[in-house]
Amino acid sequence: MGKVKADRVSGLKPKKKCCRSKNRCLKCPVVIMRMKKAESAGMTGKDLRKALKKARAA
């Protein structure tokens, strides 16, 4: 999949089921849901990148 910008993650189509691995993939429904929440809260740029890192670590 390569590098994906943090602001584009919320637009991805999620997988059917969450993998629950240690470092969640970008298409994980949990990651996408958390990134949508972050964008709606008004985060941009560096804050979004930090939010993506935190969402994938959860």
Nearest of 8, 21, 20, 23 to residue 54 by alpha carbon: 23
Does residue 14 sit within a domain?
no
19 in Cβ contact with 25 (< 8 Å):
yes
Length of the chain: 58
Does residue 8 sit within a domain?
no
Does residue 17 sit within a domain?
no
Q: What pLDDT does residue 51 have?
A: 93
- pTM of the entire predicted model: 0.85
Residue 52 sits in which domain range? Answer: 24-58
Could you report the per-residue pLDDT of 5-57, keeping only the tens digit for each? 888 998 999 999 888 888 899 999 999 999 999 999 998 889 999 999 999 99
